Amino acid sequence: MPLLVMKFGGTSVADLDRIANAARKVQREVERGYQVIVIVSAMSGRTNELVGWVEGTSRLYDAREYDAVVASGENVTAGLMALRLQEMGVPARSWQGWQVPINTTAQHGSARFVSIPRGNIDAKFAEGMKVAVVAGFQGVAPDGRITTLGRGGSDTTAVAFAAAFGAERCDIYTDVDGVYTTDPRISGKARKLDRIAFEEMLELASLGAKVLQTRSVELAMRYNVRLRVLSSFEDTDDTSGTLVCAEDEIMESKVVSGVAYSRDEAKITLVTVEDRPGISAAIFAPLAEAGVNVDMIVQNISERDYEDHPGAVTDMTFSCPINQVERARKAMEDARAAGRIAYDDLAVDTEVAKVSVVGIGMRSHTGVAARMFRALADENINIKVIATSEIKISVLIDRKYMELAVQALHDAFELEKA
């Protein structure tokens, strides 16, 4: 019997009525002949509430107890979903992470999958169970303690189950009806994509698109799990939503598939750093140790001799999330105090945003960068930093121009056209 994985996010199970709505979608797939594994998130807002309770109880909390409390939100949803399906005449049973078991590492709060044995769930399917409702976002450490996977972990749970059970597809139900060429709230010309390649979706997710969690796309690409993103609040069929799949399932790709953005960026420049072998490692090793997520990097090479700096010097610029600026500043100041690096000044700009164009078509087409830069120049938008990959070009610009840049690039690459 074919198997389908269906994942419902927090807004899709926010109350009893929405749980009932999700259950009807599951019932429909059972009636079509599928065995179904349903992965559920906590009800909308519940995880934040639970985290608030933990932080209100203990400022320096034990991560193991944090996981025990925060994982309970998904357990409630799983039980309620199973009950609703039973009331509808669908043989269903809820499963917590330890019951499957979902084996993970012991890194509480951000655990990673080790294995998902099929035996327990397969045995229940053989006994007549049609739906296994599994609490997402959680697992069990080698010592038997509950673990959680970090925010967005239910998406990753769904993909992991699809891979472990050889599912025909993994359907991600959310509050949007698919993946768009850009944020429809910014551009009224945004168009829903019928299909998008794993690599494109991974870039869009990492660049700020909120539709899918980055780890889930990485896992899907690794195990070739076909994902479908679709709305919980609309009637759907086999053509609904956006299919995330391997590149060879897409007949003809546009040069650019989407425009992504991130508001919460900061630009940091170390002014007059000695230009010598090993200087990059001396700068970025302390940042890594401090947990700073460095993104774009530019080194301004200079052969000039400054009066106070015999030999060549350079400026080193990098970007990072705005909430990591103080951590980055302290890491650099500590490295300078320890004599690992020397610089004259540390300049921080927190009024920037990152805008990117993404498309697997870039591999076989030239002139994408020139077209992008011309579109921004026509709007008098100055580029501060540029970063590229095989299927992506990202620029750092003043945040006040972010929406204008997104609209200009969407128009320049005619993404409103199918």
pLDDT of residue 150: 86
What are the CA-CA distances from residue 102 to residues 113, 144, 415 (Å)?
A: 7, 11, 41
pLDDT of residue 307: 53
| pLDDT range class, residue 235, cuts 50, 70, 90 | confident
Q: What is the pLDDT of residues 19-57, one digit of tens each?
A: 999 999 999 999 999 999 999 999 999 999 999 999 999
Helix pair 214-223, 153-165: axis angle to 10 deg: 10
pLDDT of residue 151: 77
Q: For residue 173, what are the contacts with CB-CB under 8 A and spacing of at least 6?
A: 6, 7, 8, 9, 12, 22, 25, 230, 231, 232
* 211 labeled binding residue: yes
* 334 labeled binding residue: no
pLDDT of residue 311: 58
Its pTM stands at 0.84
pLDDT of residue 308: 54
* 254 labeled binding residue: no
pLDDT mean across residues, the chain: 92
pLDDT of residue 35: 97
Residue range 178-192: average pLDDT?
90
Q: What is the pLDDT of residues 343-396, one digit of tens each?
A: 999 999 999 999 999 998 888 888 899 999 999 999 999 999 999 888 999 999
Least confident of 101-105, 128-132, 197-201: 197-201
Short-list 282, 42, 278, 264, CA closest to 152: 42
pLDDT of residue 384: 93
* 175 labeled binding residue: yes
* 47 labeled binding residue: yes
Q: What is the pLDDT of residues 57-90, one digit of tens each?
A: 988 899 999 999 999 999 999 999 999 999 999 9
| pLDDT range class, residue 299, cuts 50, 70, 90 | confident
pLDDT greater than 90 at residue 141: yes
Measured in residues, the chain has a length of 418
Q: Give residue limits of the domains in the chain.
A: 3-175
Q: What is the pLDDT of residues 405-418, one digit of tens each?
A: 999 999 999 999 87
| pLDDT range class, residue 208, cuts 50, 70, 90 | low
* 401 labeled binding residue: no
Q: For residue 156, what are the contacts with CB-CB under 8 A and spacing of at least 6?
A: 113, 149, 213, 215, 216, 219
**Maximum mean pLDDT: which of 137-146, 195-204, 274-283:** 137-146
Short-list 165, 151, 140, 150, CA closest to 38: 165
Cα 266 to Cα 329: distance, rounded to the nearest angstrom: 12
CATH match for 3-175 among 3.40.50.1110, 3.40.190.170, 3.40.1160.10, 3.40.50.970: 3.40.1160.10
pLDDT of residue 287: 96
Q: For residue 211, what are the contacts with CB-CB under 8 A and spacing of at least 6?
A: 174, 176, 179, 204, 205, 229
* Alpha-helical runs (H) found in 88-165: 119-126, 153-165
Share of the chain above pLDDT 70, in %: 96
**Three-class SS state of 91:** coil
* 185 labeled binding residue: yes
* 10 labeled binding residue: yes
Helix H or strand E segment including 363:
none
* 269 labeled binding residue: no
pLDDT greater than 60 at residue 302: no
**Could you tell me which residue, 316 or 305, shows the higher pLDDT?**
316
pLDDT greater than 80 at residue 191: yes
pLDDT greater than 80 at residue 300: no
